[in-house]
Structure 1
Amino acid sequence: MPSTEQNYQAVQQRLQQACRNHQRDPASVRLLAVSKTKPAAQVEAVYRLGQRAFGENYVQDGLEKITALAHLSDIEWHFIGPLQSNKSRLVAGHFHWVETVDRDKIARRLSEQRPDTMPDLNILVQVNISREAQKAGVLPEQALDFARTVAALPRLQLRGLMCIAEAEADQAVLAAQFAQMRTLFEQLQQEFPLVDTLSMGMSADLELAIACGSTEIRIGTDIFGARDYPDAPH
């Protein structure tokens, strides 16, 4: 079994090679290590390898790790799961980023509940680029208007867009969806100069996402190993 360190180095090499293949500066693509369900000790081990940005899907699981790793002052916590209204205060008070904002109610709650003592909460608008009925996210034609709503709220900083690729789509379909995401992202950048993040691509479509302009790749199992289910706290 490869070690976590070997896994992490392999993912970094793959990411850097994809950037070289598509004439991208590797520094322009952030790796988000998706640490959901994994223990704090394993997260810290990856931190010691140089990783700083970690993604959590479950509020309680994430909060336990944030508390346990509070001594790592430059670690960056991204909430990347579905966010229920009754958990928004916990996320607003502890995370640095929320990548799955797609409802006005949630955006307003995060704005109201972000402590004045903390920096603005970085927000990505989730786009349902594949238009799948079971998938969260605003529809592409709604993305820019909703992003403007987010940008106008206090204590939030609009940083960009995210999507989750269609699992069974072929490369041509994925490429078209990623291209549409990039177009939306570039339109948003023209209006909001601080927008700098296009989060799309995971292990299965890393290379294609980088070719299409992704600035953040989300990788979990390929770094940490298989997820610990089904008893992860939400």
Structure 2
Amino acid sequence: MTIADQIRQVRLNIEQYCANSGRTPEQVRLLAVSKTHPATAIQDAYESGITEFGESYLQEAINKIEACQKLNITWHFIGPLQSNKSRLVAEHFDWVQSVDSIKLLKRLNDQRPGNLKPLQICIQVNLFAEPQKRGVTKEQLTELLDIANKMPHITLRGIMVIPPRRESYAEQMSQFKQVAKLYAQLQQRFPQIDTLSMGMSNDMQAAIENNSSMVRVGTGIFGARGTPNK
């Protein structure tokens, strides 16, 4: 299947999962995770209507951003980010979904160029306390949201989660219900947030049926990952 075929199938799946849960497809944004894939693949996806792309490896991403600068693309940084590399992200990306510390939050705010729109931010939450994954704990989350909400060069959009990989739909649903409950609680305190970035190629159905507003799909669009060029 071509990238266009894959995108068509992913969109059909999103429509079906939304119908299952009484939602509309317009309530779910499709983020194409293009890390390890070449700029030509991004061009193909763009021509099939994808305008938002997620990258995790900074230098590789910047090369692709420059190669695709004539395209009207919204770029999301979704990978682990060391604070000493924050300036390049603040200068080149529209969104950062992997903010997990006050230090990183402040650096991104201070390093955002004044001629650009505010950086759109999601706080990454490690709700299931996986030691190998980045993200703040549930207890730390409110403090970061409070700080992000007051920064002049940042717009707080919501949270991003990567739950433990589960193969069964029932297990996926159990995890995502916990995230959806947390997000609903956060919306009571931060009514302006509108983004629950949750769900990937293998668990997209359970995520959408638990109110995910953005799914991050890589292999479902581009096929197997290549070798990262960090």
**Normalising by structure 1, what TM-score?**
0.94
1:173-230 CA-partner distances (Å, limit 9, x unpaired): 433332222222222222333210001111111111111110011100111111111x
1:36 and 1:186 mapped to 2: Cα distance? 30
Tell me how far apart the structure 2 counterparts of residues 188 and 148 of structure 1 sit (CA, whole Å).
11
Deviations for 1:2-53, whole angstroms, at most 9, x for unmatched residues? 1111111111111111111111110000010000011111101111111111
Partner amino acid, structure 1, of 2:66:
T
Rounded to whole Å, the distance in 2 between the matches of 1:144 and 1:175 is 24
* Residue of structure 2 in register with 1:183 after alignment: 181
1:19 is aligned to 2:15: no
Point out 4+ residue stretches in structure 1 off by more than 6 angstroms: none
Cα deviation, residue 152, structure 1: 1.8
The aligned residue for residue 233 of structure 1 is 229
How far residue 170 of structure 1 moved from its aligned partner, in angstroms, is 4.7
CA distance in 2, matches of 1:34, 1:87: 20
> Which AA in structure 2 matches 1:35?
S
Residue in 1 that maps onto 2:110: 112
Q: How many pairs are equivalent?
A: 230
The separation in 2 between residues aligned to 1:139 and 1:23, in whole angstroms, is 31
Task: Determine if contact 1:129/1:177 at 8 Å carries over to the other structure.
Answer: no
> How far apart, in 1, do the equivalents of 2:168 and 2:128 lie?
12
Residue aligned with 1:161, SS: strand
Distance in 2 between the 1:152 and 1:46 partners? 36
State the Cα RMSD in Å.
1.4
In structure 1, how many angstroms separate the alpha carbons of the residues matched to 2:209 and 2:96?
25
For residues 170 and 182 of structure 1, the distance between their equivalents in structure 2, rounded to whole angstroms, comes to 18
- Contact 1:144–1:184 (CA under 8 A) maintained in structure 2: no
- Mapped partners of 2:139, 2:24: distance in 1: 30
Structure 1: stretches of 5+ with no match in the other structure: none
TM-aligned CA deviation for residue 146 of structure 1: 1.8
Structure 2 residues without counterparts, runs of 5 or longer: none
1:54-203 maps to which residues of 2 (within 5 A)?
A: 54-72=53-71, 74-168=72-166, 170-203=168-201
Matched to 1:233, the amino acid is N
